[in-house]
Amino acid sequence: MTKVDPNPHSPYADADPNYRHIFATIAFFGDPAPGRLVPTACERLAVVPEEALRDTHAGDGTLPDGLCPICVAVMQGGDELRHPVTGCRECEAVTDHDGLCALCRQEKHDAWWPTRGDVGPARQP
């Protein structure tokens, strides 16, 4: 069975760094650009990798190891998660992204992404 690598690191991603996440794209927007911080099927934010997932089903219909089980369950029609809601510590908007809203995370990620080097293990802001 194939195994997929986790999404690239960002200190502003709040998706589980141990998995490859599925992005629920909208047809007229196209595929999200590599390096962008984008919402996932598990309702978190992850960095889009250079290599998109294509044809992930093996001949027997199984999915590769390393996919986020919550993303897979949601994409297969399961219930979405409900994350705790707080206020964003930057803009005070209501958020379910662990104290820093998606817009603030994306803004900070966009500023950080071009400056990254060898970032080591995943860290949360």
Domain residue ranges in the chain: 27-115
- Alpha-carbon span 40 to 66, nearest angstrom: 15
pLDDT of residue 3: 86
Tell me, what's the pLDDT at 33?
A: 87
- pLDDT value, residue 113: 95
* Token pair for 19: 């998995």
Per-residue pLDDT of the chain (125 residues; tens, 9 = 90+): 588 999 999 999 999 999 999 987 665 567 788 999 999 999 999 999 988 776 555 556 678 899 999 999 988 888 767 788 999 999 999 999 999 999 999 999 999 999 987 554 444 44
pTM of the model: 0.82
Tell me the C-alpha distance between 93 and 24, whole Å: 23
